[in-house]
Protein backbone atom coordinates (compact mmCIF):
# COMPACT_ATOMS: atom_id res chain seq x y z
CA UNK A 1 0.00 0.00 0.00
CA UNK A 2 1.36 3.41 -0.97
CA UNK A 3 0.70 6.50 1.13
CA UNK A 4 1.49 10.14 0.46
CA UNK A 5 0.58 13.44 2.06
CA UNK A 6 -0.30 16.60 0.15
CA UNK A 7 -1.13 20.04 1.47
CA UNK A 8 -4.18 21.80 0.03
CA UNK A 9 -5.19 25.15 1.37
CA UNK A 10 -2.73 24.80 4.22
CA UNK A 11 -4.08 21.44 5.42
CA UNK A 12 -2.53 18.02 5.20
CA UNK A 13 -4.39 15.53 3.01
CA UNK A 14 -3.18 11.96 3.33
CA UNK A 15 -3.80 9.63 0.41
CA UNK A 16 -3.49 5.87 0.45
CA UNK A 17 -3.42 4.13 -2.91
CA UNK A 18 -6.28 1.66 -3.39
CA UNK A 19 -5.75 -2.07 -2.95
CA UNK A 20 -6.04 -2.31 -6.73
CA UNK A 21 -2.29 -1.63 -6.74
CA UNK A 22 -1.77 -5.33 -6.25
CA UNK A 23 -4.15 -6.33 -9.02
CA UNK A 24 -2.65 -3.89 -11.50
CA UNK A 25 0.86 -4.89 -10.50
CA UNK A 26 0.17 -8.58 -11.06
CA UNK A 27 -1.38 -7.93 -14.45
CA UNK A 28 1.55 -5.72 -15.42
CA UNK A 29 3.65 -8.82 -16.10
CA UNK A 30 1.52 -9.40 -19.19
CA UNK A 31 2.03 -5.83 -20.37
CA UNK A 32 5.80 -5.91 -20.29
CA UNK A 33 5.79 -8.98 -22.51
CA UNK A 34 3.79 -7.35 -25.32
CA UNK A 35 5.75 -6.77 -28.55
CA UNK A 36 6.57 -3.18 -29.42
CA UNK A 37 6.13 -1.54 -32.80
CA UNK A 38 9.06 -1.84 -35.23
CA UNK A 39 11.68 0.80 -34.58
CA UNK A 40 10.30 1.64 -31.12
CA UNK A 41 12.41 0.98 -28.05
CA UNK A 42 10.54 -0.91 -25.32
CA UNK A 43 9.88 0.83 -22.03
CA UNK A 44 12.67 -0.33 -19.73
CA UNK A 45 10.78 0.45 -16.52
CA UNK A 46 8.36 -2.36 -15.56
CA UNK A 47 4.76 -1.24 -15.31
CA UNK A 48 4.61 -2.44 -11.71
CA UNK A 49 7.29 0.12 -10.90
CA UNK A 50 5.28 2.82 -12.68
CA UNK A 51 2.28 2.00 -10.48
CA UNK A 52 4.36 2.08 -7.31
CA UNK A 53 6.07 5.36 -8.22
CA UNK A 54 2.99 7.31 -9.35
CA UNK A 55 0.10 5.69 -7.47
CA UNK A 56 -0.17 8.29 -4.72
CA UNK A 57 0.07 11.29 -7.07
CA UNK A 58 -2.59 9.91 -9.40
CA UNK A 59 -4.87 9.18 -6.45
CA UNK A 60 -4.48 12.73 -5.12
CA UNK A 61 -5.43 14.07 -8.55
CA UNK A 62 -8.43 11.73 -8.77
CA UNK A 63 -9.62 12.76 -5.31
CA UNK A 64 -9.31 16.45 -6.17
CA UNK A 65 -11.16 16.09 -9.48
CA UNK A 66 -13.99 13.65 -8.66
CA UNK A 67 -14.03 13.71 -4.85
CA UNK A 68 -13.19 10.98 -2.35
CA UNK A 69 -16.27 8.85 -3.08
CA UNK A 70 -15.31 8.07 -6.69
CA UNK A 71 -11.55 8.50 -6.49
CA UNK A 72 -10.75 4.80 -6.18
CA UNK A 73 -12.77 3.99 -9.30
CA UNK A 74 -11.08 6.77 -11.27
CA UNK A 75 -7.68 5.60 -10.02
CA UNK A 76 -8.29 1.99 -11.02
CA UNK A 77 -9.65 2.94 -14.44
CA UNK A 78 -6.63 5.18 -14.99
CA UNK A 79 -4.08 2.47 -14.35
CA UNK A 80 -6.00 -0.21 -16.25
CA UNK A 81 -6.10 2.07 -19.30
CA UNK A 82 -2.44 2.98 -18.79
CA UNK A 83 -1.49 -0.69 -18.51
CA UNK A 84 -3.01 -1.42 -21.92
CA UNK A 85 -1.33 1.56 -23.57
CA UNK A 86 2.05 1.32 -21.82
CA UNK A 87 3.80 -0.91 -24.39
CA UNK A 88 3.36 1.81 -27.02
CA UNK A 89 4.45 4.72 -24.82
CA UNK A 90 7.66 6.36 -26.12
CA UNK A 91 10.62 5.64 -23.87
CA UNK A 92 11.27 9.37 -23.34
CA UNK A 93 7.65 10.24 -22.46
CA UNK A 94 6.78 12.09 -19.26
CA UNK A 95 5.05 9.20 -17.52
CA UNK A 96 3.46 11.26 -14.75
CA UNK A 97 1.98 13.80 -17.16
CA UNK A 98 0.72 10.92 -19.32
CA UNK A 99 -0.97 9.29 -16.31
CA UNK A 100 -2.52 12.58 -15.21
CA UNK A 101 -3.95 13.05 -18.70
CA UNK A 102 -5.55 9.62 -18.52
CA UNK A 103 -6.80 10.33 -15.00
CA UNK A 104 -8.47 13.52 -16.21
CA UNK A 105 -10.31 11.65 -18.97
CA UNK A 106 -11.47 8.98 -16.56
CA UNK A 107 -12.55 11.62 -14.06
CA UNK A 108 -14.57 13.44 -16.70
CA UNK A 109 -16.24 10.15 -17.64
CA UNK A 110 -17.18 9.50 -14.02
CA UNK A 111 -18.55 13.02 -13.52
CA UNK A 112 -20.66 12.72 -16.67
CA UNK A 113 -21.97 9.33 -15.60
CA UNK A 114 -22.75 10.70 -12.15
CA UNK A 115 -24.74 13.56 -13.68
CA UNK A 116 -26.71 11.17 -15.91
CA UNK A 117 -27.57 8.76 -13.13
CA UNK A 118 -28.19 11.15 -10.23
CA UNK A 119 -31.65 10.36 -8.83
CA UNK A 120 -33.38 11.21 -5.52
CA UNK A 121 -33.30 8.47 -2.91
CA UNK A 122 -35.15 7.89 0.36
CA UNK A 123 -31.97 6.94 2.19
CA UNK A 124 -28.51 8.39 1.88
CA UNK A 125 -26.12 5.72 0.51
CA UNK A 126 -23.21 4.51 2.57
CA UNK A 127 -20.11 6.68 2.39
CA UNK A 128 -16.61 5.31 1.73
CA UNK A 129 -14.92 3.91 4.80
CA UNK A 130 -12.16 5.86 6.50
CA UNK A 131 -10.39 2.67 7.56
CA UNK A 132 -6.77 2.67 6.50
CA UNK A 133 -6.68 6.42 5.84
CA UNK A 134 -4.66 8.19 8.53
CA UNK A 135 -6.45 11.30 9.71
CA UNK A 136 -9.65 10.26 7.88
CA UNK A 137 -11.43 12.57 5.46
CA UNK A 138 -11.45 16.28 6.27
CA UNK A 139 -15.11 17.20 5.76
CA UNK A 140 -14.48 20.94 6.01
CA UNK A 141 -11.74 20.77 3.39
CA UNK A 142 -13.88 18.78 0.96
CA UNK A 143 -16.80 21.12 1.49
CA UNK A 144 -14.48 23.99 0.50
CA UNK A 145 -13.18 22.05 -2.51
CA UNK A 146 -16.74 21.49 -3.72
CA UNK A 147 -17.13 25.27 -3.79
CA UNK A 148 -14.43 25.61 -6.45
CA UNK A 149 -15.25 25.90 -10.12
CA UNK A 150 -14.30 22.88 -12.24
CA UNK A 151 -11.45 24.88 -13.79
CA UNK A 152 -10.07 25.99 -10.42
CA UNK A 153 -10.26 22.44 -9.14
CA UNK A 154 -8.41 21.03 -12.13
CA UNK A 155 -5.79 23.77 -12.13
CA UNK A 156 -5.00 23.10 -8.47
CA UNK A 157 -5.02 19.33 -8.90
CA UNK A 158 -2.74 19.21 -11.91
CA UNK A 159 -0.31 21.93 -10.84
CA UNK A 160 -0.15 21.67 -7.05
CA UNK A 161 -0.83 17.95 -6.63
CA UNK A 162 0.63 16.46 -9.81
CA UNK A 163 3.42 19.02 -10.11
CA UNK A 164 2.72 19.87 -13.76
CA UNK A 165 3.91 23.28 -15.04
CA UNK A 166 1.13 25.74 -15.84
CA UNK A 167 1.94 25.50 -19.55
CA UNK A 168 1.30 21.75 -19.52
CA UNK A 169 -1.87 22.18 -17.48
CA UNK A 170 -3.08 24.72 -20.05
CA UNK A 171 -2.51 22.19 -22.83
CA UNK A 172 -4.50 19.65 -20.85
CA UNK A 173 -7.54 21.73 -19.86
CA UNK A 174 -7.38 24.51 -22.45
CA UNK A 175 -6.58 28.22 -22.26
CA UNK A 176 -3.30 29.97 -21.61
CA UNK A 177 -0.73 29.31 -18.93
CA UNK A 178 -1.54 32.71 -17.42
CA UNK A 179 -5.25 31.88 -17.26
CA UNK A 180 -4.52 28.55 -15.58
CA UNK A 181 -2.21 30.26 -13.08
CA UNK A 182 -5.01 32.74 -12.28
CA UNK A 183 -7.55 29.94 -11.85
CA UNK A 184 -5.25 28.07 -9.48
CA UNK A 185 -4.50 31.23 -7.48
CA UNK A 186 -8.20 32.12 -7.23
CA UNK A 187 -8.97 28.56 -6.17
CA UNK A 188 -6.31 28.53 -3.45
CA UNK A 189 -7.55 31.90 -2.20
CA UNK A 190 -11.11 30.56 -2.06
CA UNK A 191 -9.96 27.53 -0.06
CA UNK A 192 -8.01 29.67 2.39
CA UNK A 193 -10.84 32.18 2.85
CA UNK A 194 -13.44 29.44 3.30
CA UNK A 195 -11.39 27.44 5.77
CA UNK A 196 -10.28 30.47 7.79
CA UNK A 197 -13.90 31.57 8.14
CA UNK A 198 -14.86 28.30 9.85
**Domain containing 190 — which CATH number?**
1.10.1740.10
Q: Does residue 130 sit within a domain?
A: no
**144-159 pLDDT tens trace:** 888 899 899 999 999 9
Query: What single DSSP character describes residue 39?
Result: T
CA angle 169, 163, 76 (to 5 degrees): 85
Residue 9 inside a domain? The answer is yes
Q: Which pLDDT band, with edges at 50, 70 and 90, does 29 fall under?
A: very low
Residue 122 lies in a domain: no
Range(s) of the domain holding residue 73: 3-29+45-114+137-196
Q: Are 159 and 180 in contact (CB under 8 A)?
A: yes
Residue 42: which pLDDT band, with cuts at 50, 70 and 90?
Answer: low
Integer CA distances (angstroms), 69 to 22, 55, 63, 125, 175, in order: 21, 17, 8, 11, 29
Q: What is the pLDDT of residues 171-184, one digit of tens each?
A: 989 999 999 999 99
**In a domain? residue 125:** no
174: alpha, beta or left? (left if phi > 0; alpha if psi -120 to 50): left
pTM (two decimals): 0.63
In this predicted model, what pLDDT tens digit does every residue of 105-148 receive, in sequence order? Answer: 999 898 888 777 655 556 655 555 444 444 555 678 888 888 89
Residue 151 lies in a domain: yes
State the Cα–Cα distance between residues 86 and 68, nearest whole angstrom: 27
Give CA separation, 189 vs 63, 158, 166, 185, in Å.
Answer: 19, 17, 17, 6
Inform me whether the pLDDT recorded for 20 exceeds 80. Answer: no
Q: Is the pLDDT of residue 1 over 80?
A: no
Q: Is there a domain that residue 121 lies in?
A: no
State how many domains the chain has: 1
d(CA 39, CA 37): 6
Do 81 and 27 meet the contact criterion of CB atoms below 8 Å apart? Answer: no
Assigned domain for 71 exists: yes
pLDDT of residue 156: 92
Total count of residues recorded for the chain: 198
**37 part of a folded domain:** no
**Residue 76: its pLDDT value, please?**
95
How far, in Å, are 43, 71, 128 from residue 22 at the CA level? 21, 17, 20
Q: pLDDT per residue over 64-110, tens digit each?
A: 888 888 999 999 999 999 999 999 999 889 999 999 999 999 998 98
C-alpha distance across the termini of the chain, in Å: 33
Amino acid sequence: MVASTAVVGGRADTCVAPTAVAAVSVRSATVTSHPTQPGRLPNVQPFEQVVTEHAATVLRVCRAVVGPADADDAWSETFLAAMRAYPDLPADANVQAWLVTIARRKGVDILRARARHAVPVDEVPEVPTDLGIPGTVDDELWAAVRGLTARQREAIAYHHLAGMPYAEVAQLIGGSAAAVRRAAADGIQHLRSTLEAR
